[in-house]
Each structure stands twice: as C-alpha cells, then as structure tokens.
C-alpha cells in the first residue's frame, strides 16, 4: 500500500580534524577543519539521505554504504544523495520538503546557507522553496560546542506521485 505522505528523520555527526575545508551539502566551506569520515563526511548529504531512506523504510546509510567497504573510501556524498533520490523516484514518491539543521560552533556558515540550499534543490530537482537550511551552534557545550565535531539533522516529507496534482 502506497501511503499518500511519508516522513523521515535522521542525524549525522563526524569528528572534526585539522584540515582546509568542510563539505556541507556539496559546498566547500574554507576553514581550519575537515570531517573525519570514511566518505567525504558531508553531514548535510548524510542526514538528508538517511532521512530519505527512513521515509522509504529502506534502513540506514550503513546498510547501503558500509564503512568497511573500500569502494566507499572518500566517496562523494553527493553520490549517496543521488542514490537515495533514485530510490525515492523508483518507489513512486516526490520530495515535498527538506528541513536540515547544521550544528557547528565554527566556522560560521551563514553566508553559505543559500548556496547549500540551492545545491540540494538543484540536485533533487525541486524548488529552493522546498529546502530549508538552518545553522546552529551548540552554545559551546559538548563535542560540537568545543569544535571537536560537527553534525546535521534532517526531516523530509515525501508525497505519493499519484496523490498530488
């Protein structure tokens, strides 16, 4: 039975290490950090992709892209996002909206938010008005607040293609 609406939620976190930039939603943000990860560590693409998998009932990223598989070493997270978008299409759904929060104490990313939003919308072939990106600090608390980690959470809404006009 194809439900008219499905919702997925996910959270992704990666350790910050010394580097030259972070990749957030496919956008390079120059700074003194990089994400430590098996893939390129893009927490935005990871959270949104896993939320898509969740809405479809298709498990998690580790099921589809195991971190002990060298095929995915330094793998571009944009490819993970494209894979999940393909699953959405094959299941007969379209994206209603994407809402993503990015948790970083630094760097400040306000000037990159529109670029991240536009990139997600462009790749997903949806309107930028269907994507929301928020920048959050952790008020200097915990690993994120101490700039030892960065994270993102996402909620997505999917609509059955046959139930929309």
pLDDT tens digit sequence for 59-78: 999 999 988 888 888 889 99
- Residue 8: cis peptide before it, omega within 30 degrees of 0: no
Q: Which residue has the tokens 């309107």?
A: 127
User: Annotated binding residue at 12?
Assistant: yes
Helix 43-56 and helix 77-90, axial crossing angle in degrees, nearest 10: 20
Q: Is the pLDDT of residue 113 over 80?
A: yes
Q: Which residues of 62-91 are buried (b: 16+ CB within 10 A; e: fewer)?
A: eebbeeeeeebeebebbebbeebbebbeeb
Give residue 55's pLDDT band: very low, low, confident or very high (50, 70, 90): very high
Is residue 68 a known part of a binding site?
yes
66 is in an annotated binding site: yes
pLDDT the model gives residue 75: 86
User: How confident is the model over 29-42, as a mean pLDDT?
Assistant: 92
Instruction: Write down the pLDDT at residue 165.
Output: 65
What is the pLDDT averaged over residues 66-91?
92
Highest mean pLDDT among 30-44, 55-69, 77-91: 77-91
pLDDT band of 144, cuts 50, 70, 90: very high
Cβ neighbour number for residue 30 with a 10 Å cutoff: 10
Residue 99 annotated as binding?
no
Q: Was 61 annotated as part of a binding site? A: yes
Residue 9 annotated in ligand binding: no
Q: Is pLDDT at 101 greater than 70 in this prediction?
A: yes
pTM above 0.85, yes or no: yes
Q: Residue 115, annotated ligand binder?
A: no
46 is in an annotated binding site: yes
Give the residue, 3 or 127, on which the prediction is more confident.
127
pLDDT for 71: 85
Binned at pLDDT 50, 70 and 90, residue 3 comes out as: confident
């Amino acid at each position: 039975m194809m439900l008219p609406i499905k919702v997925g939620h996910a959270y992704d976190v990666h350790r910050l290490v010394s580097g030259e930039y972070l990749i957030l939603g496919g956008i390079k943000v120059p700074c003194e950090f990089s994400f430590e990860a098996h893939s390129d560590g893009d927490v935005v693409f990871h959270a949104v992709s896993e939320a898509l998998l969740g809405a479809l009932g298709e498990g998690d990223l580790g099921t589809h892209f195991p971190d002990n598989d060298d095929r995915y070493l330094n793998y571009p997270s944009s490819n993970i996002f494209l894979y999940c978008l393909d699953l959405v299409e094959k299941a007969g759904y379209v994206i209603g909206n994407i809402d993503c929060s990015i948790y970083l104490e630094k760097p400040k990313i306000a000037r990159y938010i529109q670029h991240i939003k536009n990139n997600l919308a462009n790749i997903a072939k949806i309107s930028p008005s269907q994507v929301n990106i928020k920048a959050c600090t952790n008020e200097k608390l915990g690993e994120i607040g101490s700039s030892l980690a960065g994270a993102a959470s996402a909620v997505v809404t999917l609509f059955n293609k046959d139930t929309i006009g």
